[in-house]
Structure 1
Amino acid sequence: MPSALPDGEPVPTDGSLPGSALAGIGSRQFGVYLHVPFCRVRCGYCDFNTYTLTELGVPGEGAGVSSYADAALSELDLADRVLRAGGETAPVTTIFVGGGTPTMLAADDLVRMVEGVRDRFGLAPDAEVTTEANPDTVTPEVARTLAAGGFTRISLGMQSAVPHVLATLDRTHDPANVERAVAYARDARLQVSLDLIYGTPGESLQDWRRSLDTVVALAPDHVSAYALVVEQGTKLAAQVRRGVVPMPADDDEALKYELADEVLGAAGYGWYEISNWAARPDARCRHNESYWRGDDWWGIGPGAHSHVGGVRWWNVKHPTAYAGRLADGISPGAGREVLTQEQRYDETVLLGVRLVDGLPLDSLAPQGRTAMAGLIADGLVEPAAAVRPIDRRVVLTLQGRLLADTVVRRLLGF
């Protein structure tokens, strides 16, 4: 089952935000996340807020596949009303359509949602517009429709090139369709990102090397590689609990991360965030970078999270409840929190150290600056970046990336 929503204070029925959150909104970067909560099957490791058509019941009821774009456009209307209370927003710089499997919607509906963002907020001339996709759902027609409708990137859920690993993850796509989907996207002049998962029970180091070599041969613009996490409430967690499959081992995942960095680095991909590599600086995922910088974004859809000016909120999870609230003229927000200065500082450290650009040393509190000598001595922070005469920064070494949580705790004085 999808993970539970956090606790928080109620969201006003009209979705309004405090004046402090809206102050200066036109001067800040602004992105939009569009969540599409539909999948053909639920993968055993996934705890995202997604639903199969069987789970949703009557087709077309509430925010079903055929009516989902209309519900999303209704929330965009709400976002427009709420944000205009603070003045004009800056044009949207990034849109990311995630899921679920966004390409379970018709490509025309995905384009219609992007047009909805453009019509209400405007798009920056160089806006990055991305959709995730299952490789089996990408056809030449889909790729051409997306490109003609303003999409610039497609992020394919490859996960592995090895059939038995995909089977353990309950991934249903044909591995051969990854190559086809990449070709279709290239023909449509879309940038391509490939998403991988490592540490699946039964995946050998040779299996992981095969996946990495396959990725390099496909020459995408961008690669994401995430360690498998066994989330409570998932099918995989139940299998681990029953002893059907082993819990992923930290040492195994560390070896696989190091191999990923070695193989991708040798192929010309530079890491820019712990789990992300880009072929060129302009191939980085700018939408995700905006999360790591703490920029403003509005999350559209069931269970989607948003952040504007230090206020974070999240929507009700079920598509039917989501669509019902919007139909009644009520915000779908389920709860929110106004971040304290201490929380915002902690998040700045937590997210900033994950980036290759690192954190300015002078942005750290005294306990963080005091911790630097020990972090350098332990080989977790690059000494050259920390001691140069100007622009001194906290930049992780490879070992520091493997122990990023430890670095964060020490910088925060825990």
Structure 2
Amino acid sequence: MPALPAGEAVPADGALPEWVRPSPVGPADGARPFGVYVHVPFCSVRCGYCDFNTYTASELGGGADQAAYATTALREVELAVRVLDAAGLGSRPASTVFFGGGTPTMLPAADLARVLRGIDDAWGLAPGAEVTTEANPDSVTPGSLRVLADAGFTRVSFGMQSAVPHVLATLERTHDPRRVPDAVSWARDAGLDVSLDLIYGTPGESLDDWRASLEAVLAAGVDHVSAYALVVEPGTKMHAQVRRGELALPDEDDQAAKYELADELLTEAGLGWYEVSNWSRGPERACRHNLAYWRGDDWWGIGPGAHSYVAAGSDGDHAGVRWWNVKHPRRYAALVEAGASPGAGRELLTPAEAQLERVLLGVRVREGLPVDALDPSRRAAVAGLVARGLLDGVAAVRGRVVLTRRGRLLADTVVRELTP
């Protein structure tokens, strides 16, 4: 799994820089939106392609067991309350809460409910708050999903990845694809919105295989779909298999064809893209938590390896602070149980760095960003990108930078040409 980024030390008490203060940029009440991410680092097995900060039971020892994890996570919630209160940022209710991993539903549903209750006690949940958990189809039951819904969860995002057995086998996914429709039905019966996550570009996956997965998603009738191109990271088992010639990665044309097929079929079924890798049945079904990342809202990340971000407010020399926790659950647990910050490092963003991130993230969403948000030296590049079919010409005339389908395939190229 990748190393944490370099950065300056986080104070032992987790205190934010003194220039962090409430920002006037936000809703009418003057508060920036605030979200909470909870990382649950447990999985039943480690998939060969995965480089996330996850661990199986055999990889962990004392101080990091699943039975104690909810209590440990709530200790960091207590720390977060102290830190945000000291910075004058503690009065905001959480607009979104997202449990990710790993497989959050490796924990008992009652433990997930207890952590959510602790978050609610700490900050409150905003009216209509979105509360999501990721899950594997084989890690839930009708009963566990009802417990989550009764506790205040509103969404579940299932890691389906593929409907084709040989593709799942290559990815080393353990669930039976025939279980997915059942899991979707159970979640809906419990009153939860449902998203399905897919991966395309697995070695050995044909275009027909990918079409079968998309058709299975559409047959399930869900209102949100995420589809990500497989990226084989160094250090993973799959990377070693590719290096040894045991698996062959698809070329860029294959990846592009699969993305175009996904966009075509999902759009025809009434799911429109709202971010390069995400489609929903109308804006109200979009994942608001992920949109908060792309829009630069504030969030606190709970758990080992979790990242957090708070904007600077009105300070002219700084734009925000981002920090990240130590990765290993055992070290994380030891720190929070001692009342110390689990922060491993942080970076203080300058206005120029924050502006670069605004472009990098803003062009990925369907609403795009204003041309005026670009550095003046790069605004002239918009016309050329329109001429090459990478940006929407009508949107550009209206003063916004919006990707076309071809532009979504080449989003990194667009960003490079729009940034100094």
TM-score by length of 1: 0.97
Name 2:106's counterpart in structure 1.
104
In structure 2, C-alpha distance between the alignment counterparts of 1:256 and 1:22, rounded to whole Å: 45
Report matched runs for 1:144-223 at 5 Å: 144-223=146-225
Is 1:49 equivalent to 2:56 in the alignment?
Answer: no
State the shift of 1:368 in Å: 2.2
State the shift of 1:23 in Å: 3.1
Instruction: Indicate conservation of the 8 Å contact 2:305/2:325, yes or no.
Output: yes
The residue type paired with residue 228 of structure 2 is Y
Name 2:417's counterpart in structure 1.
410
In structure 2, C-alpha distance between the alignment counterparts of 1:176 and 1:137, rounded to whole Å: 14
Q: 2:344 aligns with which of 304, 317, 334?
A: 334
Q: Deviations over 1:220-249 (max 9, x none)?
A: 110000000010100010001000001232
Report matched runs for 1:1-400 at 5 Å: 2-24=1-23, 27-57=31-61, 61-87=62-88, 88-309=90-311, 310-388=320-398, 392-400=399-407
State the shift of 1:24 in Å: 3.0
In structure 1, C-alpha distance between the alignment counterparts of 2:18 and 2:292, rounded to whole Å: 22
Q: Deviations over 1:296-353 (max 9, x none)?
A: 0000000001101110000001111000011212100000000111110110000000
Q: Secondary structure at the match of 2:248?
A: coil
Instruction: Indicate conservation of the 8 Å contact 1:22/1:308, yes or no.
Output: no
Instruction: Indicate conservation of the 8 Å contact 2:201/2:249, yes or no.
Output: no
The residue type paired with residue 66 of structure 2 is V
| Percent of paired sites with the same residue | 66
| Count of residue correspondences | 406
In structure 1, C-alpha distance between the alignment counterparts of 2:382 and 2:264, rounded to whole Å: 27
Q: Secondary structure at the match of 1:154?
A: strand
State the shift of 1:364 in Å: 1.1
RMSD: 0.9
In structure 2, C-alpha distance between the alignment counterparts of 1:333 and 1:22, rounded to whole Å: 20
In structure 2, C-alpha distance between the alignment counterparts of 1:322 and 1:115, rounded to whole Å: 21
The residue type paired with residue 390 of structure 2 is L
Q: Deviations over 1:107-127 (max 9, x none)?
A: 000011111110000110110
In structure 2, C-alpha distance between the alignment counterparts of 1:42 and 1:125, rounded to whole Å: 37
State the shift of 1:19 in Å: 2.4
> Which segment is superposed worse, 67-76 or 243-252?
243-252
The residue type paired with residue 227 of structure 1 is A
The residue type paired with residue 13 of structure 2 is D
Instruction: Indicate conservation of the 8 Å contact 2:305/2:326, yes or no.
Output: yes
Q: Secondary structure at the match of 1:34?
A: strand
Instruction: Indicate conservation of the 8 Å contact 2:70/2:111, yes or no.
Output: yes
State the shift of 1:290 in Å: 0.3
Q: Deviations over 1:83-103 (max 9, x none)?
A: 001223321000000000000
In structure 2, C-alpha distance between the alignment counterparts of 1:227 and 1:184, rounded to whole Å: 28
State the shift of 1:20 in Å: 2.2
The residue type paired with residue 408 of structure 2 is R
The residue type paired with residue 14 of structure 1 is D
Instruction: Indicate conservation of the 8 Å contact 2:16/2:87, yes or no.
Output: no
Q: Secondary structure at the match of 2:191?
A: coil
State the shift of 1:283 in Å: 0.4
In structure 2, C-alpha distance between the alignment counterparts of 1:367 and 1:219, rounded to whole Å: 46
Q: Deviations over 1:24-55 (max 9, x none)?
A: 38710000000000001000000000000000
The residue type paired with residue 320 of structure 1 is R
Instruction: Indicate conservation of the 8 Å contact 1:22/1:85, yes or no.
Output: no
State the shift of 1:362 in Å: 1.1
4+ aligned runs moved over 4 Å, structure 1: none
In structure 2, C-alpha distance between the alignment counterparts of 1:64 and 1:21, rounded to whole Å: 35
Instruction: Indicate conservation of the 8 Å contact 2:392/2:401, yes or no.
Output: yes
Instruction: Indicate conservation of the 8 Å contact 2:156/2:194, yes or no.
Output: yes
Instruction: Indicate conservation of the 8 Å contact 2:22/2:31, yes or no.
Output: no
Q: Secondary structure at the match of 2:391?
A: coil
Instruction: Indicate conservation of the 8 Å contact 1:254/1:402, yes or no.
Output: yes
Instruction: Indicate conservation of the 8 Å contact 1:371/1:411, yes or no.
Output: yes
Structure 2 gap ranges (5+)? 25-29, 312-319
In structure 1, C-alpha distance between the alignment counterparts of 2:328 and 2:51, rounded to whole Å: 14
